[in-house]
Amino acid sequence: MMLPAPSASPGDPVAPVVLALAVMLVGAKLGGDLAERLGQPAVLGELVAGVVLGNLDLIGVPWFRAAATDHTLNVLARLGVVVLLFEVGLESTVGDMLKVGGRSLLVAVLGVVTPWALGWGVGALLLPRRSAYVHAFLGATLTATSVGITARVLRDLGRAQSPEARIILGAAVIDDVLGLVILAVVGGAITATDAGTGLSYAAVALILLKALLFLGGALALGVVLSPRLFALAARLRGRGLLLTTALVFCFVLAYLASVVGLAAIVGAYAAGLVLEDSHYGRLARDGERRLDELIRPIGILLVPVFFVLMGMRVELRSFAHPETVGLALLLTVAAVAGKQACALGGLGGSARLDRLSIGLGMIPRGEVGLIFANLGLSLTLHGERIVDAAAFTSVVIMVVLTTLITPPALKWSLGRREQRTGDAACADKVEHQRIKVAQLEEYLR
């Protein structure tokens, strides 16, 4: 539609969004270029570009600080990470995941219990006058891994199909279930104690049951139903049916995941795991294109939006309060150290399993921690807020630091491993040069 934006009308609502997208994409590519030149994954550059854009308000440009909390950009960014996890899921099968399932469960449990205990200890140490519930709650904010960053780093480095990647991604899915349960237990215990009633174990069990039913149902039924879905779609006339059917499948599972209380991206990842080339039948190719090739451009547009926006949400201002930063740093140490217990989950596996990378890959924390902290702001026990403003800011800083630490740490540990095993060493660099050579040949022709 032709929508002019005369000064008398509210203007085209897409205009500020396309401007923000253009600036964020330019920032992402410049940041990614710089990061790659420094030997870091592109995603670190995208995060830092976001930090720079978001904090331009410090030099009098508040536009991006406002954009950082814009609802529509937020949804576009989340759509980006849904697409990213779907893409990563497409690279593995349900069978691949079941092979590492037991190990992922062990990694997830170790990686939830240890940081919870360490965070509890940090709370007891720095906030001795607060109740044990406060300490338990603070520990709980450290439990759930935010797998977007790790998934992206693994893909940047071409390692999304390694056993370590599958263990990490599987453990992150289980983390999400455990996070739900902990939130229900701790939140429920505080509310019950404050009201003087007992904790409802039935309510907690129901939450767990719903999440497990979703995961089991999505993976088991999905494998059976998805070939039929594509066979039905193949009967339709029209264009883009392969991509559309796959996206609908992904979106429906993402929605169902959120209905049972899981992250939407857990559903998107499950959808990616379920879909296999053999399911697509007559739709297997759209013209010359495979599904992964068709999805890639959507990711090129939306995925950087997520990482730049995450960076934009970092308020450098909040680093100015020493006591808050003290708690934040100790929480970060607990968060990082706690997840290294995950490496124990890799013990007894193949000698070639990169246990350090598993521990490092579990480091990033994200919105589960922020949601916990946010909930803590609204919970009270005997009239005292469970999480006060300073503790909340500390959790935010912990989320930022774990997010920024992971890309270089994981790149280093995977590189170290590659040098040692030697087999996949410098595959990334070779690929980079291969593309350049192909481009030059094309140019000279």
95-154 binders of a copy of itself (CB under 8 A): 144-148
**How far apart are CB 236 and a copy of itself at their closest, in Å?**
4
Q: Which of residues 42-71 bind a copy of itself (CB under 8 A)?
A: 42, 71
When binding is defined by CB under 8 A, the residue of 90, 97, 100, 375 that contacts a copy of itself is 375
Contacts of 280 (CB under 8 A, 6+ apart): 230, 242, 291
Q: Does 213 bind a copy of itself (CB under 8 A)?
A: no
Among 1, 59, 195, 320, binds a copy of itself (CB under 8 A): 1
Residue 389 lies near a copy of itself (rule: CB under 8 A): no
What's the min distance (Å) between Cβ of 366 and a copy of itself? 3
Measured between alpha carbons, how far is 272 from 92 in angstroms, rounded to an integer? 8
CA separation for the pair 282, 297 (Å, rounded)? 23
Q: How far apart are CA 396 and CA 385, in angstroms?
A: 17
- Kindly write down the DSSP assignment for every residue of 25-43, as one continuous string: HHHHHHHHHHHHHTTS-HH
Rounded-to-integer distance, Cα 121 and Cα 114, Å:
11
Using the minimum distance from each CB to a copy of itself, give the nearer residue, 278 or 350.
278
Sign of the C-alpha dihedral computed for residues 265, 27, 427 and 407 taken in this order? negative
E strand or H helix at 280, and its extent? Answer: none
State how far the alpha carbon of 291 is from the alpha carbons of 237, 360, 372, in Å.
18, 31, 37
Q: Which is nearer to a copy of itself, 127 or 301 (CB)?
A: 301
Total binding residues toward a copy of itself, as defined by CB under 8 A: 108
Q: Which range touches a copy of itself (CB under 8 A), out of 9-17, 59-67, 219-227, 323-331?
A: 9-17
- Smallest gap from residue 320 Cβ to a copy of itself (A): 25
Q: Which residue in 2, 195, 224, 320 binds a copy of itself (CB under 8 A)?
A: 2
179 belongs to the binding site for a copy of itself (CB under 8 A): yes
Buried b (16+ CB within 10 A) or exposed e, 37-61: eeebbbbbbbbbbbbbbbbebeeee
Cβ at position 325, least distance to a copy of itself in Å = 23
Kindly state the tokens that stand for 94.
């349900």
* 3-state percent breakdown (helix, strand, coil) of the chain, nearest 5: 75, 0, 20
CB under 8 A: which stretch of 1-9, 119-127, 157-165, 415-423 binds a copy of itself?
1-9
- The span of 103-111, 291-299, 328-336, 415-423 binding a copy of itself (CB under 8 A) equals 291-299
**Residue 38 Cβ vs a copy of itself, minimum distance, rounded to whole Å:** 11
Look up tokens 């996890």; give the residue. Answer: 85
Task: Answer yes or no whether residue 298 interacts with a copy of itself by CB under 8 A.
Answer: yes
- Residue 118 CA, distance from chain mean position: 23
Distance (Å, whole) CA 155 – CA 157: 5
Asked if 45 and 401 count as a contact pair (C-beta separation under 8 A), the reply is no
Q: Which of 60, 196, 197, 237 binds a copy of itself (CB under 8 A)?
A: 237
Closer CB to a copy of itself, 186 or 328, in the complex: 186
Stretch binding a copy of itself (CB under 8 A), from 53-61, 234-242, 330-338, 410-418: 234-242
Q: Is 285 in the site for a copy of itself (CB under 8 A)?
A: yes
